[in-house]
Amino acid sequence: MQTFALSPSTGAGSPEVAGFFDPRTFSIQYVVSDPATGKCAIIDPVYDFDEKSGATASHHADELLAYVKEKGFEVEWVLDTHPHADHFSAAQYLSEKTGAPTAIGEKVVEVQKLWKKIYHWPDFPADGSQWHRLFAEGDTFAIGDLEVRVMFSPGHTLASITYVVGDAAFVHDTLFQPDFGTARADFPGGDAHQLWRSIQAILALPDDTRLFTGHDYMPDGREPEWESTVREQRETNKHLAGSVTEDDYTVMRDQRDSELPMPKLILHSLQVNTRGGRLPEPEANGKRYLKIPLDALEGAAWE
């Protein structure tokens, strides 16, 4: 199975993108680097969690660190596109290892407020202070000499953002590969109409923009893939191609979402990821514990 691929820079102002696929969570982690300076950012890193044993590990995050060391890169940022519902974020772990600041979209505070109620965390600070920086729509920052622009991309979650780095855009759970379609919009705070509008904004980028997704579910047993272009998505995405209207899309999306079970790790991961990737503090016996609320979400798959 292909678990690594390198998308080379296409010229001045274009990043080199290394993608690392995690078969356990179907997630892709990225190291985005500036060829001119050797500076890089890590996007959507995975901290390993086995739900059957409760074990945690840093195997996939350490794979990124090994790659960075091999290439001689300097990590300037550890970035998340949104609070993930299907894997733990390794942002805090990698920040501690590299000294690089963490960042996410500013609307994460709205997600924190939702989950603060679900987890019954009366003392939880839902203010985004768990990250070093919160990005707003249109904010810019740098990876080496490369400018990064932030696009607010809600719909899958309230806080989803897209990072546009030269001719590359990191869209995570808005678009998947064209043969799989688009992301669900039924999590707390999700909205299919917002997702449609976010997708249209992404598809308004230049046709040859490289789009990098956050998951791949390998339809029909093909090898994992995570790179496409705006043109490919517009012309061939199974949920978007043709004369699909916003109303068409939202009817399809709502119907499809109503048939999907909740991700198996949503109640585990959000209590880590709304903390910026921090595991719960150890209790008096030195052990850490997750808190799973019962009957908190709809979407049980009983059959």
| Per-residue confidence band for 27, with pLDDT thresholds at 50, 70 and 90 | very high
Return the minimum-mean-pLDDT range out of 14-28, 87-101, 289-303: 289-303
- The pLDDT of residue 300 is 81
- The pLDDT of residue 60 is 98
Q: What is the 3-state secondary structure (H, E, C) of the chain?
A: CCCEEEECCCCCCCCEEEEEEECCCCEEEEEEECCCCCEEEEECCEEEEECCCCEEECHHHHHHHHHHHHHCCEEEEEECCCCCCCCEECHHHHHHHHCCCEEEECCHHHHHHHHHHHCCCCCCCCCCCCCCEEECCCCEEEECCEEEEEEECCCCCCCCEEEEECCEEEEECCECCCCCCECCCCCCCCCHHHHHHHHHHHHCCCCCCEEEECECCCHHHCCCCCEEEHHHHHHHCCCCCCCCCHHHHHHHHHHHHHCCCCCCCHHHHHHHHCCCCCCCCCCCCCCCCCCCCCCCCCCCCCC
Tokens of 209: 């923009």
Question: What is the average pLDDT value for the chain, to the nearest integer?
Answer: 97
- The pLDDT of residue 301 is 76
Query: pLDDT per residue over 105-155, tens digit each?
Result: 999 999 999 999 999 999 999 999 999 999 999 999 999 999 999 999 999
Tokens of 272: 């880590």
- Provide the edge-to-edge strand list for the sheet that holds 146-152: 140-143, 146-152, 161-165, 168-172, 210-213, 227-229
Return the minimum-mean-pLDDT range out of 10-19, 229-238, 291-300: 291-300
- Tell me what the mean pLDDT of segment 164-187 comes to: 97
| Per-residue confidence band for 298, with pLDDT thresholds at 50, 70 and 90 | confident
pLDDT over 90 at 206, yes or no: yes
pLDDT over 80 at 197, yes or no: yes
Percent of the chain with pLDDT over 90: 98
Domains of the chain by range and CATH? 4-270 (3.60.15.10)
- The pLDDT of residue 139 is 98
Query: pLDDT per residue over 60-108, tens digit each?
Result: 999 999 999 999 999 999 999 999 999 999 999 999 999 999 999 999 9
pLDDT over 80 at 302, yes or no: no
